[in-house]
């Protein structure tokens, strides 16, 4: 099958102007293809989070071009970007950012309500399906603060999947977990790759995690040095 690009970064440069003019990303170029599970590694401060912030369309102040799903994203309006994020990108962070006042089920379906394509009833059904993948269906009515760290992260991944995103992006999704939970969450990513062919771009410090991905993009001092 022909490779299909879900994301293309072309010559991305990023400058911070304070406290002094610094270039933190230098001609960063790569492609993520459909179904690929890709990790981004590199020493602390090499620019991984800055890059992810740009690729996730949250930071629009950069040079170069970002193409998502064959659409040139660079220069698009904030409204357009917000809709695109909701529709095409799922996020998993180091800290889960679940809302404690809502149930697990509601947390998973909220990005679906925001997108507004399905009714609440349809979304409840879909959210339960996603929770089932991670064996979390029996916790649907609990609040996030009644869950363990690993369980919260599983819910956060279910939430990232609710709109069937083209691409999942993660910044250190196992960074805050102990070895046992980190292994469980890593297993989930592997399952998403193997069974659902989910395209994923994950920043990690964990060499074992990186070794288990299809491809590793290695960064040093703002540049991609291997991919
Ligand atoms: N808002 C900002 N203003 C100025 N400099 C910044 C800003 N954000 C990040 N930097 C600098 O940009 C560089 C890259 O930071 P970034 O957070 O992307 O690195 P990282 O590879 O994700 O690091 P870590 O692995 O520690 O999370 C660092 O030198 C950092 O100090």
Structural domain spans, the chain: 5-98+149-226
Complex ipTM: 0.96
pTM: 0.91
Bond before 223 cis per omega within 30 degrees: no
- Give the position, in ligand 1's atom list, of the atom nearest the Cα of 16: 4
Name the residue at shortest CA distance from atom 24 of ligand 1: 44
Helix residue ranges, H only, the chain: 48-55, 78-88, 104-115, 120-133, 149-161, 179-196, 207-211
- Give the position, in ligand 1's atom list, of the atom nearest the Cα of 203: 22
Q: Which two tokens stand for residue 123?
A: 């979304």
- Give the position, in ligand 1's atom list, of the atom nearest the Cα of 51: 18
From first to last of the 227 residues of the chain, give the pLDDT tens digit. Answer: 567 999 999 999 999 999 999 999 999 999 999 999 999 999 999 999 999 999 999 999 999 999 999 999 999 999 999 999 999 999 988 777 899 999 999 999 999 999 999 999 999 999 999 999 989 999 999 999 999 988 998 999 999 999 999 999 999 988 888 888 888 889 999 999 999 999 999 999 988 899 999 999 999 999 999 99
| Dist CA 206 CA 136 (whole Å) | 25
Q: Looking at the domain covering 5-98+149-226, what would its CATH class be? A: alpha beta
Name the residue at shortest CA distance from atom 5 of ligand 1: 16
What's the CA-to-centroid distance between 194 and ligand 1, angstroms?
A: 32
| CA gyration radius, the chain | 17
Beta bridge partners of 220: 223
Q: Which two tokens stand for residue 22?
A: 């610094």
What's the CA-to-centroid distance between 193 and ligand 1, angstroms?
A: 29
Among 75, 70, 111, 66, residue whose Cα is nearest residue 92:
111
| Dist CA 198 CA 191 (whole Å) | 9
Among 154, 95, 92, 100, residue whose Cα is nearest residue 127:
154
CB 55 within 8 A of CB 7: yes
What's the CA-to-centroid distance between 25 and ligand 1, angstroms?
A: 10
What's the CA-to-centroid distance between 91 and ligand 1, angstroms?
A: 19
Ligand 1 pocket by Cβ (under 6 Å): 16, 24, 42, 44-50
């Amino acid at each position: 099958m022909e490779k299909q690009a879900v994301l293309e970064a072309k010559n991305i440069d990023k400058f911070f102007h304070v406290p002094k003019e610094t270039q933190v990303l230098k001609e960063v170029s790569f492609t993520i293809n459909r179904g690929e599970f890709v990790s981004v590694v590199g020493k602390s401060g090499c620019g991984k989070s800055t890059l992810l912030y740009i690729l996730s369309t949250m930071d629009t102040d950069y040079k170069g071009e970002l193409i998502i799903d064959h659409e040139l994203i660079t220069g698009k309006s904030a409204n357009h970007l917000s809709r695109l994020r909701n529709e095409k990108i799922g996020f998993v962070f180091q800290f889960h950012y679940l809302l404690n006042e809502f149930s697990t089920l509601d947390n998973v379906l909220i990005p679906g309500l925001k997108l507004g394509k399905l009714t609440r009833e349809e979304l409840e059904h879909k959210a339960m399906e996603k929770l089932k993948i991670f064996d979390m269906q029996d916790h649907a009515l609990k609040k996030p603060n009644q869950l363990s760290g690993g369980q919260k992260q599983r819910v956060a991944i279910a939430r990232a999947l609710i709109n069937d995103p083209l691409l999942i992006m993660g910044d250190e999704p196992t960074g805050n977990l102990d070895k046992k939970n980190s292994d469980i969450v890593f297993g989930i990513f592997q399952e998403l790759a193997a069974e659902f062919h989910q395209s994923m771009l994950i920043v990690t410090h964990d060499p074992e995690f990186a070794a288990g991905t299809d491809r590793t993009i290695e960064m040093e001092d703002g540049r991609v040095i291997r991919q």
